[in-house]
Chain A
Amino acid sequence: MIAQPPPKADIIARRPEIIAGLRALVPASGLISEELRLKPYETDGLPAYRQIPLAVVLPETTEQVAAVLAFCHKNGVRVVPRGAGTSLSGGALPMADSVVIGLMRMNRILDIDYGDRCATVQAGVTNIGITNAVSAEGFFYAPDPSSQLACMIGGNVGMNSGGAHCLKYGVTANNLLGLKIVTMEGDVLDIGGAHLDAAGYDWLGLMTGSEGMLAMVTEVTVRILRAPEGARAMLVAFDANETAGRAVDAIIGSGIIPVALEFMDRPAIHACEAFAHAGYPLDAEALLIIEVEGSVAEQDDLLGRIAALCEPFHPISLRVSQSAEESIAIWKGRKGAFGAVGRISPDYLCMDGTIPTGQLPFVLRRIGEMSDAYGLKVANIFHAGDGNLHPLIMFDANLAGNFEHAEAFGADILKLCVEVGGCLTGEHGVGVEKRELMRVQFTDIELDQQRRIKSAFDPDWLLNPSKVFPLVDMPVTAMPGTAMPVAA
């Protein structure tokens, strides 16, 4: 269990005054301060970590966000940005002395321009909401995190969300054009726009994936793409993880980049099949979902080539989706994979390391050994094309010590990912979950460098506190003339 630092006593003492101040800044229904009603805001998609915040505000405009931030800045109150609360790394975990700023009321599509292939939306629009808004014209927004139904674009920017199709289309950072951000001081700034590659430092790139620590995002301008003529998925089943891994290498090495290339191991196949009834082969040890795009003839051509590339690895079955419904079911299973594990286990921890794809067989073998050693089951979902691995560790939070055990297992997996040349997190973010592991991947000098950049945006370290950076034993060189980050 990762410890949170104690709250600032003076802020807690001034709670009534702070709440009264906030009340003047947002509509009445947009301020939540009763303990009972604050409770559902104590956690996000990582419910093992919980903390009731000081208050929750639900602003409806950028101006209200700016007013709230300026007020909090003036009063030294820490704030936690929140979108749909789907973070799997505890990115929206509050602190007792913090105000949660929820952006779910900012859910309007502001502008769609098909000619310039961009759309501007408020931060609280869901990821799928953008695609839904443009799909009638044949367009889509490319990054498709599994939680795309619920997760909001503001949170996608904060975490630089990926998805199953980012092998071809890139992650959030590659699909943004502009942001409207509000700094902790309450300054509203436009970053980028509807054009490509703004001059000057790449604030757009730096903001993306900064986990709400640099500024709050209230509007996002994204690239929208014309959907391909068609897409088709193929399921290829293997009798061993190693074989599936080698097939992946053969496909990419051949020069074919499928639009998606997903891997599931046996437990994952079974959990997803129970949810989606997609006809996943239950006799397989490993399953690849491979999707290609284009006209029917192009799809046939590519699927034929891929099937031929898989042939030497003796797949136990190979099935091409025959209809749009079948493809939908195949993806529904994959995208609901995490939750589907809820059917076979009361609780799970979802890891998110990335590894060099060639290391997959080795890493899966090691995870299997660890699973035996820890006595905890694990299901593996893997974005095989880009090396992003999601081991889902199953545990029972009602058993004393079980969560801590699972967490230790997870930490060992992530250390392994770094060891083989990968990283701690591919798309879920560090949040609170992987905070203390950061030193596995970075030197103190490197972490210190990142912290100084954080200080440049938020000198008093009020934005999304206690995330991303290890709290303890950290040599800190704060910016000249700014407050030191608070260590526990």
Chain B
Amino acid sequence: MQTNFSSEQLADPNTASSNQVLRTCVHCGFCTATCPTFVLLGDELDSPRGRIYLIKDMLESGRPATEEVVRHVDRCLSCLACMTTCPSGVNYMHLVDHAREYIENTYTRPWHERMLRNVLQLVLPRPALFRMAVLGARVARPVRRLIPRGSVLGDRVHAMLDLAPARLPPSSDMQSPQVHKAEGTRRGRVALLAGCAQTVLAPSINEATIRLLTRLGIEVVIARGVGCCGALTHHMGRHDPAMASARANIAGWTREIEGDGLDAILVNTSGCGTTVKDYGFMFRSEPAEWAMQAERVSALAMDISEYLATLDYVPTREAPGLRVAYHAACSLQHGQRVLTQPKALLRRAGFTVVEPLEGHLCCGSAGTYNLVQPEIAGRLRERKLANIAATKPDLIAAGNIGCITQLSGGVPVIHTVELLDWMAGGPAPVGLPAAVAVPA
């Protein structure tokens, strides 16, 4: 597509990169069809092609972002279904990330949005604070009736209270920095991103991952200094905090790479995996040393299912006869293009895997999207659950904590890795339906 940037504008590396993205787009419109917001709202402006156009206009003009552009860019889930669909290979992710940063730098949001975003940025990446906040939400839950709905702020507070789990599992020591030794002969050494919110909401995921890997002869390192991947702030367009998070992680893993070495850096929260795999791009204009290290980290990053698929995973329990609806997290299927491995592993574990219709559509979780866009997120959740229900599953498997939280409430939603661990000798995942007879 034709673009109109001055050579001055193109001197900025972000603009130069976005120009390349825009040039790749041929405006064919294929992306509209698989965009969740276009499907729901039926407006070109809420489609990838429409947003690309709005962003193009905003960047070319060099004007501050306007309320209208912000509205439509904010509605984007960053699910990246458009990238799977795009025949031209347009890197929408990098374009929208740039747009978000541009908006953050040139647009002043209303005070309540700023506050909300500040709170999310402060709390979610910090497990201790997050734990307190969830407990606080539990306290607030009984008085939620007092908070009026109908206002933007009121609705968002409700959205947060709705999502906050009624109770939290105890924290787990396995997630703190340490080395988990391989059982038997060591066949590999990997780092695991323990993550932030996940360590509070569902430590069982990391526990299962570690058990499963060590049982398969893999040494698992929880590297010191590694925390939030930075995706949360990155997707809010907040450049500096995102880079700070990423920098800490790169430093932590680099110590391991240059120390005892790493075969892979594993991520079991696919939303984070997409970002870690993009560190190389994020640091492309940083000093060479950092750029190289970031590139190396990204190259080693793998989703847990990708890595497991390279090992000889075999179940040790008898097949439980369970029908599992596989929910493909967007970050996994679109962001990382990990499509077949989770399903193949679940089948190998003895589950009957079914795939709901419209599997390409986002469930509405999308990081903090369900908190900042509760209305659209709610409609996507209902649509997703209806499609899943049509497959009549016993449980839902997903590879991303965000989706798991978003879809919970009905049919149990369990992380793929917990199911795999269970079938290979681990404990039965919490939340299995009572009716399911757990084989010995």
Is there a chain A Cβ closer than 8 Å to B106's Cβ? no
Using a CB-CB cutoff of 8 Å, which residues 352-406 of chain A contact chain B? 397-398, 403
CA distance A328 to B29 in the complex (A): 21
A39 touches B88 (CB 8 A): no
CA distance A341 to B85 in the complex (A): 15
CB contact under 8 A between A41 and B89, given known A36-B57, A36-B68, A48-B2? no
Least Cβ–Cβ distance between A46 and chain B, in angstroms: 8
User: Please, which residue of chain A has its CB at the minimum distance from the CB of B50?
Assistant: A40
B88 touches A342 (CB 8 A): yes
Least Cβ–Cβ distance between B64 and chain A, in angstroms: 12
Query: B176: which A residues are within 8 A, CB to CB?
Result: none
**Which residue from B38, B45, B87 sits with its C-beta under 8 Å from A342?**
B87
CA distance A149 to B90 in the complex (A): 17
User: Please, which residue of chain B has its CB at the minimum distance from the CB of A340?
Assistant: B87
B88 touches A343 (CB 8 A): yes
CB contact under 8 A between A149 and B30, given known A39-B57, A104-B42, A336-B87? yes
A275 touches B30 (CB 8 A): no
Using a CB-CB cutoff of 8 Å, which residues 21-62 of chain B contact chain A? 23-34, 38-39, 41-45, 49-50, 53-54, 57
Least Cβ–Cβ distance between A229 and chain B, in angstroms: 23
B57 touches A86 (CB 8 A): no
User: Please, which residue of chain A has its CB at the minimum distance from the CB of B53?
Assistant: A40
Is there a chain A Cβ closer than 8 Å to B196's Cβ? no
Is there a chain A Cβ closer than 8 Å to B171's Cβ? no
CB contact under 8 A between A105 and B42, given known A48-B2, A340-B88? yes
CA distance A122 to B24 in the complex (A): 33
A85 touches B44 (CB 8 A): yes
Least Cβ–Cβ distance between A174 and chain B, in angstroms: 24
CA distance A105 to B69 in the complex (A): 21
B68 touches A34 (CB 8 A): yes
Is there a chain A Cβ closer than 8 Å to B86's Cβ? yes
- Residues 141-166 of chain A, each 1 if its beta carbon lies under 8 Å from chain B, else 0: 00000010111000000000000000
A338 touches B27 (CB 8 A): no
Is there a chain A Cβ closer than 8 Å to B319's Cβ? no
Is there a chain B Cβ closer than 8 Å to A294's Cβ? no
Instruction: Write 20 A-B pairs (CB below 8 A) sorted by A numbering.
Output: A37-B68, A39-B54, A40-B53, A40-B54, A47-B27, A86-B28, A102-B43, A104-B43, A126-B33, A147-B30, A149-B33, A149-B85, A150-B30, A275-B89, A337-B87, A340-B88, A341-B26, A342-B24, A342-B89, A346-B24
B66 touches A41 (CB 8 A): no
**Which residue from A47, A107, A149, A343 sits with its C-beta under 8 Å from B42?**
A107
Is there a chain A Cβ closer than 8 Å to B357's Cβ? yes
Least Cβ–Cβ distance between B49 and chain A, in angstroms: 7
**Additional 8 contacts, C-beta under 8 A, given A58-B43, A346-B1, A397-B2:** A84-B32, A86-B29, A149-B33, A149-B85, A338-B28, A340-B87, A347-B2, A348-B26
B88 touches A32 (CB 8 A): no
CA distance A34 to B43 in the complex (A): 14
B29 touches A40 (CB 8 A): no
User: Please, which residue of chain B has its CB at the minimum distance from the CB of A343?
Assistant: B89
CA distance A58 to B38 in the complex (A): 13
User: Please, which residue of chain A has its CB at the minimum distance from the CB of B38?
Assistant: A104
Is there a chain B Cβ closer than 8 Å to A339's Cβ? yes
CA distance A403 to B287 in the complex (A): 40
Query: B89: which A residues are within 8 A, CB to CB?
Result: 275, 342-343
Query: B87: which A residues are within 8 A, CB to CB?
Result: 275, 336-340, 342
Using a CB-CB cutoff of 8 Å, which residues 82-131 of chain B contact chain A? 85-90
Is there a chain B Cβ closer than 8 Å to A128's Cβ? yes
Is there a chain A Cβ closer than 8 Å to B3's Cβ? yes
A45 touches B28 (CB 8 A): yes
A124 touches B2 (CB 8 A): no
A36 touches B69 (CB 8 A): yes
User: Please, which residue of chain A has its CB at the minimum distance from the CB of B27?
Assistant: A47
Please provide the 9 A-B residue pairs with the shortest distance between their CB atoms, ordered closest to farther. Answer: A339-B87, A342-B88, A336-B87, A397-B2, A105-B42, A150-B33, A40-B53, A47-B27, A342-B26
Using a CB-CB cutoff of 8 Å, which residues 9-63 of chain A contact chain B? 29, 32, 34, 36-37, 39-41, 43-45, 47-48, 58
CA distance A340 to B86 in the complex (A): 9
A398 touches B45 (CB 8 A): no
B43 touches A29 (CB 8 A): yes
A37 touches B45 (CB 8 A): yes
B54 touches A85 (CB 8 A): no
Query: A477: which B residues are within 8 A, CB to CB?
Result: none
CA distance A446 to B222 in the complex (A): 77
Is there a chain B Cβ closer than 8 Å to A317's Cβ? no
Query: B44: which A residues are within 8 A, CB to CB?
Result: 40-41, 85, 102, 104
CA distance A58 to B44 in the complex (A): 10
B24 touches A343 (CB 8 A): yes
Is there a chain B Cβ closer than 8 Å to A295's Cβ? no
User: Please, which residue of chain B has its CB at the minimum distance from the CB of A342?
Assistant: B88
Query: B357: which A residues are within 8 A, CB to CB?
Result: 132
CA distance A341 to B24 in the complex (A): 9
User: Please, which residue of chain B has its CB at the minimum distance from the CB of A124?
Assistant: B42
**Which residue from A41, A45, A275, A403 sits with its C-beta under 8 Å from B29?**
A45
CA distance A415 to B170 in the complex (A): 75
Least Cβ–Cβ distance between A33 and chain B, in angstroms: 11
Query: B31: which A residues are within 8 A, CB to CB?
Result: 150
Least Cβ–Cβ distance between B27 and chain A, in angstroms: 4
CB contact under 8 A between A85 and B1, given known A40-B54, A107-B42, A346-B24? no
Least Cβ–Cβ distance between B317 and chain A, in angstroms: 30
Query: B26: which A residues are within 8 A, CB to CB?
Result: 47, 338-339, 341-342, 347-348
CA distance A339 to B24 in the complex (A): 9
Using a CB-CB cutoff of 8 Å, which residues 79-125 of chain A contact chain B? 84-86, 102, 104-105, 107, 124
Least Cβ–Cβ distance between B37 and chain A, in angstroms: 12
In this complex, which of A40, A126, A337, A340 has the most chain B Cβ atoms within 10 angstroms of its Cβ?
A40
User: Please, which residue of chain B has its CB at the minimum distance from the CB of A148?
Assistant: B33
CA distance A84 to B27 in the complex (A): 11
Query: B23: which A residues are within 8 A, CB to CB?
Result: 346, 398
**Which residue from A149, A346, A397 sits with its C-beta under 8 Å from B34?**
A149
Least Cβ–Cβ distance between B375 and chain A, in angstroms: 12
In this complex, which of A37, A86, A403 has the most chain B Cβ atoms within 10 angstroms of its Cβ?
A37
A32 touches B45 (CB 8 A): yes
CA distance A343 to B23 in the complex (A): 10
Least Cβ–Cβ distance between B164 and chain A, in angstroms: 31
